[in-house]
């Protein structure tokens, strides 16, 4: 496996390939990322993973400085998973000048849910993903479904810019108790880690309630959302949202739509997100 830090070297290395399959990451890898790499393997003639903690998608009060940088451990895991090339640029390589050209996704996709609570987040994500997909000449790119809205926004960006790239969503990987794997789980204290299972359990109870009553109207769905927020709050969480939306565009659902329930909540200083398709 080659570990590359510069764009020039990346271009040179990729010139031998026609169909890179790419897994963009911010490092601090877990089994969810490695599952994406294994899924990518048969989909291209070279498997590339990028590791770059992208300042543009962090608000000033967020954890950019403390986000774990674990390049050596990440590379060892990527090699074991069958990755061929790791592109891990320094910030000065990705952003040699301030990145003033940015991708602004449409507000109806990006100002709701995560975008409402993290203004500018999807501008940062789209800008870096566009750049990474261009640099790696991706023909297939894989993103985890845990970041459901991110996956939807990226799919739409690639479609509207007519980029010749197939976007694939990888299933969320979970710990035995149901907690969705995330680099930020490492911030949880042992007590918080034990409690964190409540988030996925809350989502599962909504899935079960909706499946048991397939004709639920908007008011009934709203009651489920409110009850879920209240029960998380009562046990010490600070929920940002629990929302049942339609899978296609994350707008409020109408009868017959395929649904997904999404949630974001803080436990102590850690903000966790999760979702389940219904
Ligand atoms: O999901 C992530 O790790 C990041 O948002 C991504 C897609 C690598 C862009 O920085």
pLDDT tens digits for range 98-133 = 999 999 999 999 999 999 999 999 999 999 999 999
Q: Which residues of 17-30 are buried (b: 16+ CB within 10 A; e: fewer)?
A: beebbbbbbbbbbb
Which residue lies with its CA nearest to atom 1 of ligand 1?
Answer: 25
Q: Span 183-277: which CATH code?
A: 3.30.1300.10
As a whole number of angstroms, the distance between CA 177 and CA 160 comes to 39
Name the band, by pLDDT with cuts 50, 70 and 90, for residue 172: very high
Beta sheet of 238-246, edge-to-edge order: 238-246, 259-267, 270-277
33, 61, 104, 116: the catalytic one is 33
Which residue lies with its CA nearest to atom 9 of ligand 1?
Answer: 125
Q: Span 2-170: which CATH code?
A: 3.40.50.620
Q: Which of 28, 95, 150 to mutate to test the pocket of ligand 1 (most atoms within 8 A of CB)?
A: 150
33 is catalytic: yes
Q: Which of 249, 248, 240 is nearest to 274 (CA)?
A: 240
Which residue lies with its CA nearest to atom 6 of ligand 1?
Answer: 25
* Entry pTM: 0.97
Statement: residue 214 has pLDDT above 90: no
Ligand 1 centre distance from Cα of residue 25 (Å): 5
Residue boundaries of the structural domains of the chain: 2-170, 183-277
241-255: pLDDT as tens digits: 999 999 999 999 998
Q: Which of 91, 102, 100 is nearest to 67 (CA)?
A: 91
Share of the chain above pLDDT 70, in %: 100
């Amino acid at each position: 496996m080659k570990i590359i830090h510069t764009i020039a070297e990346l271009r040179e290395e990729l010139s031998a390939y026609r169909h890179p399959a790419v897994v963009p990451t911010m490092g601090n890898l877990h089994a969810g990322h490695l599952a994406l790499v294994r899924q990518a393997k048969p989909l291209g003639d070279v498997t590339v993973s990028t590791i770059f903690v992208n300042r543009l998608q962090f608000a000033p009060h967020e954890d950019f400085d403390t986000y774990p940088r674990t390049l050596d451990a990440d590379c060892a895991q990527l090699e074991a998973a069958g990755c061929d090339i790791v592109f891990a640029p320094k910030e000065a390589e990705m952003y040699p000048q301030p990145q003033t050209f940015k991708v602004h996704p449409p507000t109806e996709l990006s100002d709701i849910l995560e975008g409402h609570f993290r203004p500018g987040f999807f501008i940062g994500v789209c800008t870096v993903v566009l750049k990474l997909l261009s640099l790696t000449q991706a023909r297939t790119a894989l993103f985890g479904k845990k970041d459901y809205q991110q996956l939807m926004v990226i799919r739409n960006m690639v479609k509207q810019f007519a980029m010749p790239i197939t976007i694939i969503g990888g299933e969320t990987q979970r710990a035995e108790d149901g907690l969705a794997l995330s680099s930020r789980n490492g911030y949880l204290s042992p007590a918080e880690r034990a409690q964190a299972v409540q988030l996925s359990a809350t989502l599962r109870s909504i899935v079960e309630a909706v499946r048991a009553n397939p004709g639920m109207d908007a008011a009934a769905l709203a009651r489920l959302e409110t009850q879920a927020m209240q029960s998380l709050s009562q046990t010490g969480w600070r929920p940002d949202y629990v929302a049942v939306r339609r899978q296609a565009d994350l707008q409020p659902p109408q009868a017959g739509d395929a649904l997904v329930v999404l949630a974001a909540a803080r436990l102590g200083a850690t903000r966790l997100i999760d979702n389940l398709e219904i």
